[in-house]
Amino acid sequence: MPPKVIARSSGADPAALRKRSARIVQALSDLGTTHVVGVPDNLTRYLYEMFDADHHVQVVPVCREGEAWAIASGLWVGGRQPVVVIQNTGFFESGDSLRGTAIEMGVPLIALMDYRGYGSLGKPDADSAASFFEPILNAWGFRYLFLEDSKEAQILKTALDKAFELNQPVAVLMR
Q: Which parts of this chain interact with other proteins (CB under 8 A)?
A: 35, 37, 58, 60-64, 66-67, 69-80, 82, 96-97, 99-101, 104-107, 167
- For other proteins, the closer of residues 4 and 55 by Cβ is 55
Residue among 106, 108, 128, 105 at smallest CA distance from 118:
128
Shortest CB 82 distance to other proteins, Å: 8
Contacts 24+ apart (CB under 8 A), 117-126: 117/88, 118/175, 119/11, 119/175
Shortest CB 154 distance to other proteins, Å: 28
What count of other Cβ atoms lies within 10 Å of the Cβ of residue 117?
Answer: 23
Q: What is the largest CA-CA distance in the chain?
A: 57
Contact of 134 with 122, CB cutoff 8 Å: no
Shortest CB 102 distance to other proteins, Å: 9
Shortest CB 94 distance to other proteins, Å: 10
- For other proteins, the closer of residues 96 and 148 by Cβ is 96
- For other proteins, the closer of residues 88 and 101 by Cβ is 101
Residue among 94, 24, 99, 102 at smallest CA distance from 63:
94
- For other proteins, the closer of residues 104 and 148 by Cβ is 104
